[in-house]
Amino acid sequence: MDRKEFASVRKELGKTQKELAQILGISLKAVCSYEQGWRKVPVHIERHLLLLASQKCRDHRDGRPCWKVKNCPKERREGCPAWEYRLGTLCWFISGNMCEGKNRKSWEEKMRICRKCEYFLSSGKDKKK
C-alpha cells in the first residue's frame, strides 16, 4: 500500500489522521509518516485498514462469497482457506487463498493479484486502480 492509497482509504472512512491512529492503535506520527511516504505501511496496518474499509461498504455484493462470484471450480475451492472457513467476503484478507489456482508467497504478491480482481475492486476498497 502506498502513501496515496493509505490517505485515500482514511478519507473514505471519514477519519482524521488522529482518529485513524486511535482506531489502528498507532501514533499520530506513524499515520503522518505513512501518508507522507516517510515510512512504508506495514502489512498488519494495511490489513487492518482494508478490513475497516470493507466493513464500511459490506453490502456491495449482497453477501455473495468470492467463489460464487468468480465461479471457482470445486478443486480450487476445496484447497482454499477462504472457502474452508466460509470467509468468501473477506477472501482478500486471507493469506493462502487459491485465486488464479495457486497460493502466493507473500502478502505483497497476493495483494498485487487482489488489486486486479473484480471481487476486490467491487468492494470499493481500491478505487484508484
pLDDT tens digits, residue range 36-81? 999 999 999 999 998 888 777 665 556 788 888 888 888 888 888 8
Q: Would you tell me how many other CB atoms lie within 10 Å of the CB of residue 98?
A: 20
Cα–Cα distance between 49 and 66 in angstroms, integer?
A: 20
pLDDT of the residue at 124? 53
Q: In a 10 Å sphere around its CB, with 0-12 CB exposed, 13-18 middle and 19+ buried, how is residue 12 labelled?
A: middle
Q: Could you state, in order of their start, the residue ranges of all structural domains in the chain?
A: 1-56, 58-129
Return the DSSP state at 45. H
7 pLDDT exceeds 90?
yes
CATH of 1-56, one of 1.10.275.30, 1.10.260.40, 3.30.70.3000, 1.20.120.1200: 1.10.260.40
In the structure grid, which three cell numbers stand for residue 116, read together? Answer: 486486479
pLDDT of the residue at 8? 93
pTM of the model: 0.70
